[in-house]
Amino acid sequence: MKKILLIIVVGMMLISACKSSKGTSGGSSKKSSAVTIVSTDNTYGYTEGNPIKVGGTESGPANERKYLNTLAGPNGEEISYVRVGSCCPFNTPNGLMGGGLLDRYEIKWSGQTAPVYLYLNMYDKDELKAPVGFTIKK
C-alpha cells in the first residue's frame, strides 16, 4: 500500500511540475557546457536501467529541457522532443519519500525513419553525455 501511495503522489507531482514539451524544438541558442562528449555506452539514455541523470528536483523539468536542447541528430540535425510520460519507479534519496519516476521523451529529427526514446532522471546527477547516435549542438 505504501508503494502504491508513493507512486500516486510522485506521479501527481510530476504531472503538475512537468508541463509537456509537445512540439518543443531544441532550437535554443543557449548550449550547456555540461555536455561535451558522446557516450560510448549503447544503453546510456535508451534504457530505464541507465537513464540520463540531469539532477535537481526543484529545477528537474527545466534541467531535462536544458539537456535536450544541447542535443542534435547524428549529422547535426535540429531535434524536436515530446515528453510522452513518466514511468519506471525507482528508489532515490533525492525523490519524494525516497522514490522517483523517470521521464520518457520521444526525439525526432528530419530524415529519421523512426523516433528515438530517451529516459531522463531528474532527481539524481551524473556526468552528462550525449547518447550514442546523437551529436552535441555547436
* Contact between 91 and 3 (Cβ < 8 Å): no
**Distance between CA atoms of 86 and 58, rounded to whole angstroms?**
17
User: Cell numbers 519506471 label which residue?
Assistant: 88
Q: What is the pLDDT of residue 96?
A: 86
pLDDT tens digits along 6-26: 455 445 444 444 433 334 444
For residue 57, CA distances in Å to 3, 70, 81 come to 20, 20, 21
- Read off the pLDDT of residues 61-118 as tens digits, 9 standing for 90 and up: 999 999 999 999 999 999 999 999 999 999 999 988 999 999 999 999 999 999 999 9
Q: Which residue has the cell 539532477?
A: 55
